Structure 1
Amino acid sequence: MNTNLAEKKIVVLSDKIRMKEKVGYATGDLACNFIYQTVSTYLLFFYTDVFGITAAAAGLMFLIVRLIDAVLDPFIGAVVDKTKSKYGRYRPYLLYGAFPFAGVAILCFTTPGFSDPMKLVYAYATYILLSITYSVVNIPYTALTSVITQDNKEIVSLTSVRIMFANIGGVAVSFGVPLLAGIFTNMTGGTGSGWQITMSMMGILGALLLMYSFYNTKERVQLNYSKEAEINFKDIWVQLKTNRPLVIVCFFFILNFGVNSIVNSVGIYYVTYNVAKPELVKWYGLMGTLPAFIAMPLMPLIYKWMGKKKLLFTSLSLKALGLLALFIIPPTMVPLVFAGRFIAALGTIMAGAFTWALVPETIDYGEYKTGKRASGVIYALIGFFFKFGMAIGGIVPGLILANFGYVANQAQTPEALNGILMTMTAIPAVFVIIELAAIYFYNFDEKEHKRILNVLKTRA
């Protein structure tokens, strides 16, 4: 691949995307969820209750690794934006990155018989490698949206199908992973080997799906190369300085996905210790993904009916309501706990889907302001703030649980149970309320976006 070229865009706005290609693109997110959602949801629990790392050490590691990874992302994005190959700009990374990504994920869920200090070294090394390989695959994958189409309705439709498949992956992870881990643990007699076999299955399937996504997508926004439009590392700072919609969307990503990370990673502790029914972990996880099958098919219609701000406000309000309900509901009232989980998940899924759908229009705005279509740079910046939020979501549970006296694999004190509850409900709800306030600063409406697309079309 030649990565020393620059660009001038020829926009193709008229192409409609066939459902086969939308599904092909969406399988890439299904693949990433098979692998990375397993990591995001269960790796903290695996480290503390299976591998034997303390909650405080694991939480600090999550922060350090994700910050290292987040710093690297914009540079990976700049390299991706300068790529030219016979397969296009972004698609080849799906082909060549699929199996390395899966292989490192399997290593993360492997339990070599090391001493405690070496366990931590091994965890750091494998988790850093996983985060880097994830970025190498996921940054170009998400940037593909901007070269498949620029039609806003098609982007919302494409994103809705993508999020639908992501949530199919979420169902498989939330319900299937603990189920399979339990089955293979019983078969092998070892918890560590049960988790390793489970991650191996998810990883290999994810790699195959990434390759399927590669073969079933097309980069329609064709690019000619010219010196004036060359992508440089300085474009990272140029975009942050000139692209106001991007800055606000980045803020959404920090808060939204930071909250998601906290809620998802602590859910298994909440069901295991507060509800005291570990056999319900898979059903609790399933309740967090089922709302996608209600919301996602309706997203294009909801968007048309409500518009951006009302849709985001409604989604985030549902999320906050569900989290606060879980804070109030006694954990012994399992049906009501599941109802609160469902409401929070419905808001989470809708807000997350539409937040991703906003990114392509920030790319258009950035090109309008700078003359450069820096898709990879912008998605890398999004990835930076996404992972910064994930870093918050990684350190907050570990440190709070340690501060409240959590000790793995034993009955928890009332103080520890309260720490689990607060970490999963009240603390995330505060961040969601801040998000609700931030909506009013996003003023890049549909009319302005259409005007900018017309200007870009005349420049091509």
Structure 2
Amino acid sequence: MTTQSEAPRTPGAQVPLKEKVSYAFAEFGSQFIWTTVGSYLMTFYTDVALIPAAVAGNILLLARVLDGIQDLGFGYIAERTKSRWGRFRPYVIFGAPLLSISMVLAFWMPFHGGSMTKAVWAAITYVLLCFLYTVANMSYGSLAGVMTTDSGERVILNWIRNIGSQAAQLIMNVATPFLLLALVASAAAKDRGFDARSFFLTMLIYSLVALPAFLITGINVRERITMTPEQQKVPFGRTVKAVLGNGQLMVVFFTLLLQLFGLFGRIGVMFYYCRWILGSPLLMAGVMSAFQIGMIIGGLLLPPFALKLGKRNMMMASVLSGGIVLMLIFFFGQTNLTVLLVLQFLYGFSGFASPIALSMVPDAVDYYEHKTGIRADGTSYATVSLSTKFANAIGGAFALYIMGWFGYNGALDVQSSSALTGINIAANLVPAIMSFLALVPLLFWKLDTKTMARISAELEVKRAAQAEALAEGKSLDEAEALAEHALEEGDSSGRA
């Protein structure tokens, strides 16, 4: 729980324009790490380092599960850090250089012997990369909540953050395949579209882009909200228990876990799909750009309808339409490039509900505060991050397991028809099935617009009464009793 020690219920001052613009840079840099790793590390392991697909899947699974488990613990530690720069900024400023170094190490294979030695190196460097990414990026993500208390300003900050994300992904979708091809060590490697040298140099470039982007944010923004001594003493176990007991938050957790399981697995194998099924790794630029453009347009046009149609209904429409489009790609995507690009655009467009899913988290937090009096904003967002990490781990590993089962071998110049089938299943059929399964937890969401309006109004009454009582020197128990009394009086006057 992160609230300001002074004037806890009043809106904060407007964030200066310099800080707003600076806030987008770390997200821009972050995507040069996150998106690149998600899209290309699997290919580096299987086709450059020649680690068997199943072994590479185990590495991804191990690293991401460990990464997800540490999220809650590091979030708790960062919230209670004391320094001249604040609680979160030092992890952004000093974590960024180490993150850039770990990025380069993850795409560098110094060993040329047995696959076990290479697998151990890959596991160590990837676990290190995941840990340092959590240190820098989770701290960055927490900054919007401590830069201002004004909810409108926070919306603007996250909107600016999204601009940085989309800009970086568009650049990488186009640039990465061409950089990998341009930086190869020999003409013989041009047929493949990449080699060890081109991977190393491309990731070195991206790490050098990410570093100053993180530093611009860490140096230029300011933290204005601190925790009270009482809030710092809340034990970790109590906070986690409150989160796990929030049934509505668990709906969001499992929805994202299922949906992102398919999405992250798909992103990881699209380079294989373009290289082996479509015939050229350079097609990755157009295929992923079509997806990205569809996502941007869908995200701009459709989320506002959530207030009228309901967040659950919009989420269900999103995952259902996404599953249908993926089924079409599975059956018809390899027949015609134009058809595939149109379907890729539609699949991206079907992801319009991503901002809606994130907006369901504070609804769940408000619901639990209304129900129990306990509020756990920071740990709740860390829990959602945990679902993302687990989905990335399991989805990416499962995709590699499928490819390995169907006989994929990165050392071959031509893949068998069975291996091509495995790639298509991992890229499209499995994500389609997971999209359909994501409908199930949404059936248990009960916080519609009318319900949330009532909960928000009642919380405001309780908070105001508590603040007034505490200002008069009353104990916390007395303040809570007065808040309940004020709420009951409000209900009585409403009925009258």
TM > 0.5 fold call: yes
Distance in 1 (alpha carbons) for counterparts of 2:157 and 2:325? 28
What is residue 61 of structure 1 aligned with on the other side?
Answer: 59
AA aligned opposite 2:54: A
CA contact (8 A) 1:365 1:452 kept: no
Matching of residues 139-288 of structure 1 within 5 Å: 139-148=138-147, 155-185=154-184, 191-220=195-224, 222-227=225-230, 230-288=233-291
What is residue 34 of structure 1 aligned with on the other side?
Answer: 32
Deviates more, 1:98-107 or 1:362-371: 362-371
The alpha-carbon deviation at position 45 of structure 1 amounts to 0.6
CA contact (8 A) 2:258 2:391 kept: yes
Distance in 2 (alpha carbons) for counterparts of 1:143 and 1:442? 26
**What percent identity do the matched residue pairs reach?**
27
Distance in 2 (alpha carbons) for counterparts of 1:458 and 1:300? 34
Deviates more, 1:261-270 or 1:430-439: 430-439
CA contact (8 A) 2:299 2:354 kept: no
Deviates more, 1:178-187 or 1:324-333: 178-187
AA aligned opposite 1:387: K
Distance in 2 (alpha carbons) for counterparts of 1:80 and 1:228? 13
The question of 1:322 aligning with 2:321 is answered: no
What is residue 41 of structure 2 aligned with on the other side?
Answer: 43
Deviates more, 1:110-119 or 1:417-426: 110-119
Deviates more, 1:412-421 or 1:397-406: 412-421
CA contact (8 A) 1:160 1:297 kept: no
CA contact (8 A) 1:60 1:395 kept: yes
Deviates more, 1:83-92 or 1:116-125: 83-92
AA aligned opposite 1:327: F
CA contact (8 A) 2:330 2:428 kept: yes
SS in 1 for 2:430: helix
The question of 1:382 aligning with 2:384 is answered: yes
The question of 1:295 aligning with 2:293 is answered: no
AA aligned opposite 2:117: M
Say if 1:26 and 1:276 are closer, same or farther in 2 by CA, change over 3 A: same
What is residue 397 of structure 2 aligned with on the other side?
Answer: 395
C-alpha RMSD of the superposition: 2.8
What is residue 354 of structure 1 aligned with on the other side?
Answer: 356
| Larger Rg, first or second structure (1 or 2) | 2
SS in 2 for 1:88: coil
CA contact (8 A) 1:262 1:393 kept: yes
Say if 1:459 and 1:182 are closer, same or farther in 2 by CA, change over 3 A: farther
Say if 1:364 and 1:44 are closer, same or farther in 2 by CA, change over 3 A: same
AA aligned opposite 2:213: L
SS in 2 for 1:39: helix
The question of 1:98 aligning with 2:102 is answered: no
Distance in 2 (alpha carbons) for counterparts of 1:436 and 1:395? 23
The alpha-carbon deviation at position 40 of structure 1 amounts to 0.9
CA contact (8 A) 1:30 1:168 kept: yes
The question of 1:338 aligning with 2:337 is answered: no
Render the CA deviation track for 1:276-317: whole Å, top value 9, x for unaligned: 232312211222212244234446644455442233233223
AA aligned opposite 1:288: F
Say if 1:443 and 1:207 are closer, same or farther in 2 by CA, change over 3 A: farther
The alpha-carbon deviation at position 236 of structure 1 amounts to 4.3
Distance in 2 (alpha carbons) for counterparts of 1:26 and 1:357? 19
Render the CA deviation track for 1:124-148: whole Å, top value 9, x for unaligned: 1100000101111222222233334
Say if 1:345 and 1:208 are closer, same or farther in 2 by CA, change over 3 A: same
Render the CA deviation track for 1:176-225: whole Å, top value 9, x for unaligned: 122111111157978112111111111121121112222343445x3352
Distance in 2 (alpha carbons) for counterparts of 1:36 and 1:395? 16
2:428 to 425, 428, 450: 425
Return 5+ residue gaps in structure 1 as ranges. Answer: none
The alpha-carbon deviation at position 346 of structure 1 amounts to 1.8
What is residue 407 of structure 2 aligned with on the other side?
Answer: 405
Say how many residue pairs are matched: 454
Render the CA deviation track for 1:45-70: whole Å, top value 9, x for unaligned: 11001111111100111111111221
Render the CA deviation track for 1:81-124: whole Å, top value 9, x for unaligned: 21233333323321121111111011001121342221111101
Distance in 2 (alpha carbons) for counterparts of 1:203 and 1:299? 34
Return 5+ residue gaps in structure 2 as ranges. Answer: 468-496
Deviates more, 1:168-177 or 1:199-208: 168-177
CA contact (8 A) 1:44 1:265 kept: yes
CA contact (8 A) 1:397 1:423 kept: yes
Distance in 2 (alpha carbons) for counterparts of 1:110 and 1:285? 25
Deviates more, 1:264-273 or 1:411-420: 411-420
Say if 1:179 and 1:389 are closer, same or farther in 2 by CA, change over 3 A: same
Distance in 2 (alpha carbons) for counterparts of 1:8 and 1:365? 23
The alpha-carbon deviation at position 452 of structure 1 amounts to 5.9
The question of 1:447 aligning with 2:447 is answered: no
CA contact (8 A) 2:292 2:348 kept: yes
SS in 1 for 2:236: coil
